[in-house]
Amino acid sequence: MKFDSAAIGEQQALHQREEFSGALRALLMTPLLTPAHAGFAAVRRHADALREWFLREAGWPLHIERDAARLYKRPADLDDATRGLPGYERRRYVLLCLACAVLERADPQITLRILGDRLLALAADPDLAAHGFTFTLQAQHERRELVAVCRTLLELGVLQRVAGDEAGFVRGGTDGPDALHDALYDVQRRLLAGVLAASRGPSTWPADEAPATLEARLAALVAEHVPDSDEGRRTALRHHLARRLLDDPVIYFDRLDAELRAYCMNQRGTMAARLCEATGLVAEQRAEGLALADDDGELTDVAMPAEGTEAHVTLLVAEFLGARAGTGVSEADVAAFITVARQRFGSFWRKSARETGSEHELAAAALDRLQCLQLVTRDGSRVRALPALTRFAVGDAEIRSTAPATGNLFD
């Protein structure tokens, strides 16, 4: 039997490209990877190529070691308040930072109860109290908050549960009938050190030089040196746009400053093609903007369309807003629309969504999802549709041709 060496070589090359793309996508979706993640082995195999690609295309450092891979994403838009851990607001982020501070000084193993006790000592800092932050662990909702933070650290791999569980701690606290219930964790210090994806640590500023506002501190945390040359400025522009294309649902040209807009309009085709070749994404572009879409729907933490009552309501609201793109509506108008839609579609929704008054909660959830996907903007209680929203418009089916479709972002 004869083997076609050329065909075998082509198949091997194809496999290498597909594995590289899969590893790259895994890092985009989960920037802190451990051996527990399916794509970790491929990331290790393509370590050098991945480091080179991310540094060249987006300026993101990638550190790969035996027990972890960390892609240090630096956000392009620090003003996007829709980003963040699900269920987190400022208070819970404070608890997460305090928990990490405790773990940084802890033994290789720690119990949930000891973690809580040491966190209480840090939470008593007068500076935190001056900003209105208090934490006592006396109320069940506070213990639940600490457990939520621990579960985040478990998902990141910073903590690994050895024994026990968190349920008894939530119910009984420190003195209740379930006080003997506890959880024991291993602390993974190398992963803990990689949690913060900043150019510098927030504790590196002398007290008299620290930025005064949260906005200034965030900007300083991710500030990067840009060489004072034409090539340095062009590279910074390219990295900024690549970061937004890889991380954001869509780029609207009218939201870019003049320099970014000019560069993007001139280079978007070449840049999008290069990013799509490596990631398997599909470029969708029109006069209003540009996006890299994922046909598989894997590279997103907020999917649309999706299953469930909230997802169905979101699609209905998208159609409602799309028909009023030029004028905008109030959030009360959206809730009123859902009330009417419930009469037609309520039988398909969960029971609580069929109850009177649920339209306000459903409206808030739908608008939050649409805002996360940069499909609407909100100014106070006013909501305005953005151009990409029309890709979710629902209409009567029409067969135009048997040829493959070539639709774009705003069809």
Tokens, residue 411: 């069809």
> Quick one: pLDDT at residue 171?
80
| Token pair belonging to 299 | 């590279």
d(CA 247, CA 245): 6
Sheet holding 289-293, edge to edge: 251-252, 289-293, 282-286
- Please name the residue ranges forming H helices in 206-308: 214-221, 230-247, 258-279
Q: How far apart are CA 53 and CA 24, in angstroms?
A: 9
What pLDDT score was predicted for residue 110?
A: 96
* Domain spans in the chain, listed from the N-terminal domain onward: 11-71, 90-193, 230-293, 309-392
φ/ψ of residue 60, rounded to 5: -95, 120
Quote the pLDDT of residue 305: 77
Which pair of tokens denotes residue 311?
């997802």
pTM comes to: 0.85
pLDDT of 385 reads 92
If 0-12 CB within 10 Å is exposed, 13-18 middle and 19+ buried, where does residue 163 land?
Answer: exposed
Using DSSP's 3-state secondary structure scheme, residue 87 falls into coil
Q: How far is CA 150 from CA 154, 279, 292, in A?
A: 6, 32, 34
Would you identify the CATH topology of the domain 90-193? Answer: Arc Repressor Mutant, subunit A (1.10.10)
Is the N-terminal amide bond of 305 cis, ω within 30° of 0?
yes
Contacts of 167 (CB under 8 A, 6+ apart): 181
Task: Show pLDDT as tens, one digit a residue, over the chain (411 residues).
Answer: 555 777 777 888 888 999 999 999 999 999 999 999 989 999 999 999 999 999 999 999 999 999 999 999 988 888 887 788 888 999 999 999 999 999 999 999 999 999 999 999 999 999 899 989 999 999 999 999 999 999 999 999 999 999 988 988 888 655 544 445 789 999 999 999 999 988 888 888 887 888 888 888 888 888 888 899 999 999 999 999 999 999 888 999 999 999 999 999 999 999 999 999 999 999 998 889 999 988 887 888 887 878 899 999 999 999 999 888 778 899 999 999 999 999 999 999 999 999 999 999 999 999 999 999 999 999 888 999 998 888 776 554 344 444 433 333 443
Find the farthest-apart pair of alpha carbons in the chain and give their distance in angstroms, rounded: 80
Tokens linked to 1: 């039997």
User: What percent of the residues of the chain are helix, what percent strand, and what percent coil, each to the nearest 5?
Assistant: 50, 10, 35
Closest CA to 275 of 240, 319, 245, 316: 245
Tokens of 91: 């208070």
| First-to-last C-alpha distance (Å) of the chain | 52
**Contact (Cβ atoms closer than 8 angstroms) between residue 136 and residue 215:** no
Please tell me the distance from the alpha carbon of residue 262 to that of residue 242, in angstroms, as a whole number.
15
If one counts every other C-beta atom within 10 angstroms of the C-beta of residue 56, the result is 14
Per-residue confidence (pLDDT) for residue 173, from 0 to 100: 52
Task: Say how far apart CA 160 and CA 109 lie, in whole Å.
Answer: 9
Three-state secondary-structure class, residue 156: helix
238/232 Cα distance (integer angstroms):
10
* Token pair 């649409």: residue: 370
Q: What is the CATH number of domain 309-392?
A: 1.10.10.10
CB atoms within 10 A of CB 389: 21
Interior/surface letters 171-192, b for 16+ CB within 10 angstroms, e for the rest: ebbeeeeeeebbbebebbeebb
What is the rounded CA–CA span in Å between residue 53 and residue 73? 13
Supply 308's token pair: 């469930």
Q: What is the C-alpha to C-alpha distance for residues 74 and 243, in angstroms, rounded to an integer?
A: 8
| pLDDT score, position 285 | 87
The CA distance from 153 to 32, in Å, is 11
